[in-house]
Chain A
Amino acid sequence: QSALTQPASVSGSPGQSITISCTGTSSDVGGYNYVSWYQQHPGKAPKLMIYEVSNRPSGVPDRFSGSKSGNTASLTISGLQAEDEADYYCSSYTSSSTYVVFGGGTKLTVL
């Protein structure tokens, strides 16, 4: 059981928007702005898409955005494209001895 809770799957049609949630506690997501999101295509390494809740690394399309409310962080992808189909993982610093926690991952299907 992962420390952060994500939906197992989400889907959307090309051009639509989807949101993936990531729920933690006040010791991690809710207590710090150190939430990051990773995209992982099959057989590939994870790629950083969002850091510190809402910041995009250079080269990540602005279709990807992040936000947080209370103990839940969210990743929104607007204008869905076929290449967005992948697994998405959230991660957060935690004040517990675990230091870093990941979500269980969400499989995004572009219909």
Chain B
Amino acid sequence: QLQLQESGPGLVKPSETLSLTCTVSGGSISSSSYYWGWIRQPPGKGLEWIGSIYYSGSTYYNPSLKSRVTISVDTSKNQFSLKLSSVTAADTAVYYCAREMSIAARSIWFDPWGQGTLVTVSS
């Protein structure tokens, strides 16, 4: 059974860089047809897609965050990571990682999701 687990600091200071890692277990991150995505959810609000990566390193980013986002993959560790720079209080959210089915560069669905990790931006 495929499982994903987010890890990283729960508190980040304004203007600094948020860094999270998602560890995939029960399957290979190098599986074809699957991308690996990051989605966030501010407290009490809806879901926002951040970006996705293929095991080869190919990435898609949300244009509204693209200038601050870097997603990378480490196939040897079966992990992928998120870096979000110059954070503000507006970046406070639960951050989820998820497996993404993608066909012909079109996102189909996200499943399963990690349990999520709350990242608070505060001094």
Contact = CB atoms under 8 A, between A and B. Distances in A.
B108 A34 contact: yes
Contact of B106 (A32, A45, A98, A105): A32
Contacts, number: 67
Interface stretch (B13-21, B26-34, B45-53, B74-82): B45-53
Q: Is the interface of B mostly helix, strand, loop or mixed?
A: strand
B7 interface: no
Interface of B: 37, 46-49, 52, 60, 62-64, 96, 101, 106-116
Given A100-B62, A105-B46, 6 more contacts: A45-B112, A48-B110, A51-B111, A99-B62, A100-B107, A102-B47
Interface of A: 2, 32, 34, 36, 38, 44-48, 51-52, 57, 89, 91, 93, 97-105
